[in-house]
Amino acid sequence: MPNHRYIYSFKYDHHHNELCKLESRQIFAIEEKNNLLFSNIKVDPSISPFIKNRFEIISSSEDYSKLLKNIKKHNIHIDGFKAEYLILDGDSSGYADRLNKLRDIGYSIEGAPDYYTPSIIYSICNYKNIWYFGILIKHNTDWHKHKNKPCSFSNSLGKNIAKTLVSIASNGNKTNQLLDACCGVGTVMLEACFSGFNIEGCDINLKAINHTRENLAHYNYTANVYHSDIKDLDKKYDAVIIDLPYNLYSYSNDTITLNIIESATKLASRIVIVSISDIETLIKKSGLKISDFGSVEKRGKLKFTRNIWVCEKESNVDLYENNTKS
């Protein structure tokens, strides 16, 4: 029987498959499989665009009757609870059977239920013939409101990618201090602020800075945004996120790209870089080591691929090289 505290459920479109697995490796050190992941690491599901639920395991058993006895032994007394059945991969139970089991759960808890505005959700699920009972924490979808932010560029990062970059850069740790270099209109900063991360931004383009500040103010988020070249910053961060210029609104070349990356290495030991070009040679020239890699396509009139490199200054296991050899 698996010895884990949490079960995470995932949901994503097929073109986000590689992005989701990259995020999963960075947060949990393993990839999700079949939209499912068991872990002892606790993270808020809402930091990820792909994590649908976190199931906190209270009790488990191969025998359903024994599970019910274990639940009753916990002597749960609470008002305002709700019971939900979580369907996991491989669970073929019918609707009527699931309803019966929810009744069993409800009768095992002392208190008045609340089906519409519950204070807590208890859940039951079955995976590989093992029954689990626990607390279900759902993903908060309120971040989708950022789709209607006042200012945007046609080449701005999508919400899903921006949100993923924050969770990758931070490893899911909300105590880490992040910098969004080349912050543009602040798409990454919006997702970080919504999820409670500590983030600051900078951009050499004054128009972009004003757009970022307007977007943050629109949602009542507070974060420092500097009208500055990254090379002129002297603060230290746990990680820097760089969505490199696309050579559209801001001119860019290999020299500028290398200067940005090298400047970032002076501010943090962990750098997450996004580029529509293959800049692996420039990354290695800056002295960084690539620890992981993924890509995601942007679909629309102009189809292009964004490459995402997770880089470290210090020596560690090179997942990128291992992956390319396998």
Between the alpha carbon of residue 318 and those of residues 240, 259, 326, the distances in Å are 19, 24, 13
Distances (CA, A) of 195 to 5, 30, 173: 22, 22, 11
Query: pLDDT tens-digit profile of 82-119?
Result: 999 999 999 999 999 999 999 999 999 999 999 999 99
pLDDT above 50 for 319: no
CB under 8 Å to 167, separation ≥6 — which residues? 23, 26, 27, 47, 48
Q: Is residue 276 predicted with pLDDT exceeding 70?
A: yes
pLDDT at 114: 95
Domains of the chain: 6-138 (3.30.2130.30), 144-325 (3.40.50.150)
Asked if pLDDT for residue 124 goes beyond 80, the answer is: yes
The DSSP bridge partners found for residue 120 are 81
- Residue written as tokens 């990356």? 261
Q: CA 26 to CA 202: how far, in whole Å?
A: 25
- Where helices occur in the chain by DSSP H, the ranges are 17-28, 64-73, 95-107, 159-170, 187-195, 206-218, 254-265, 280-285, 319-325
d(CA 25, CA 122): 28
Instruction: Give Cα 110 to chain centroid, integer Å.
Output: 36
Lowest-confidence region among 134-148, 157-171, 287-301: 287-301
Helix axis angle, 187-195 to 159-170, nearest 10°: 60
**Which residue is it, tokens 């970032």?**
264
Q: What percent of the chain has pLDDT above 90?
A: 85
Can you say whether the dihedral through the CA atoms of 162, 168, 171, 175 is positive or negative? negative
Per the CB < 8 A criterion, the answer to whether 208 and 184 are in contact is yes
